[in-house]
Amino acid sequence: MNHLLEIRQLGESIWLDNLSRTLLREGILSKRLEEDGVCGVTSNPSIFYKAISESPYYKDDLARLKSSEANIERRYEGLAIPDVQEACDLLLPTFNLSGGNDGYVSLEVSPQLADDEEKTVSEAHRLKAKVNRPNLLVKVPATPAGIRAFERLTADGVNVNVTLIFSLQHVLHVFEAYIRGLRTRHAAGGDIRSAKTVASLFLSRVDTLVDKKLAALATPEALSLQGKSAVAMAKLAYQRYNDLFHGAAFAELEKAGARPQYLLWASTGTKNPSYSDVMYVEPLIGRETINTIPDATLDAARDHARATLSIEQGVPDAQAHYLRLEQMGISMYQVGEELQQDGVKLFAEAFDKLMDLMK
């Protein structure tokens, strides 16, 4: 029994958090689409660094680009964009069958632009034109500058995957920017029916940091809260999603044909080996959600993830968990800010390593 297919039947989309020419050339991605119901792909600088440094299928093209292209970022794009285009083409039937609600591939704007609104906007437009596929999502970070850029891009008709979201405050700021951008686009006479964006809420890193803070307190109560913060955050975020996108604030836009901005569970590989390998899959299954899953977690979920509509279960417990953390002096807002800064730094470092490969 393939439990991934059961999850899909419950209304959650399963995307693969990986992309490489090995997956494309050896038919692995096609198999994931056909057998596991995978209906989207996400990428980031770390994923492309691993792909280009390990896969044999880039060697000849990289040698050619080194001799013909002086700009190292354009060399990288000369490798990554064909991969994104090929994945988009594989997922185009899914995109068409879903009416543009699924079947997307994500490509990230340089993380070095995380604090530069203007360049983020221009680069997102450039990447959209360069890839030239209807099922591309351009990844933009949920930094203050990134959120401002996201609002403008939504108004301009660029579909975005907002990444590096680590708190409920980040989630709300992103949702509100989406609605403002759609309203601007709608008021200008633009077609909002084709708008599709997702909000990528990172999970495992939240538990890693909060668990460390709880371990430092070292009380039995603090230790009993370990491994529960990220799932609690996600459950509360889904409540915010329902309140906003199935309430009065979005009603007019929905009537005009706009889609909600789905939550996407990101960073769903379990980092602590003492925890379940599907701890960011099983409790977060819900309609109008997406889980982007790395290969090892995908295999685990296929094998033994219980498929139930779980996202709205245990919400009072999630609220109580947040309250107990606050009472212990652990601010989930501050956790989110710290993790976002670290995430930007880590993605920028991965991008720098990627550029080193291109030299």
Q: What are the residue numbers of the active site? A: 139
DSSP letter string, 181-210: HHHHHHHTT---TT---EEEEE-HHHHHHH
Structural contact between residues 27 and 35, judged by C-beta atoms closer than 8 angstroms? no
Determine the Cα–Cα distance for residues 311 and 91; give it in Å rounded to an integer.
Answer: 27
In Å, how far from its chain's centre is CA 230? 15
Element holding 105 (H helix, E strand): strand 104-108
Structure tokens at 269: 């590989």
DSSP letter string, 69-93: ---HHHHHHHHHHHHHHHHHHHHHH
Determine the Cα–Cα distance for residues 274 and 278; give it in Å rounded to an integer.
Answer: 12
Side chain identity, residue 166:
F
Determine the Cα–Cα distance for residues 295 and 198; give it in Å rounded to an integer.
Answer: 21
Task: Name the one residue in this structure whose structure tokens are 């701890």.
Answer: 279
Task: Determine how many CB atoms are found less than 10 A away from the CB of residue 57.
Answer: 17
Determine the Cα–Cα distance for residues 264 and 328; give it in Å rounded to an integer.
Answer: 29
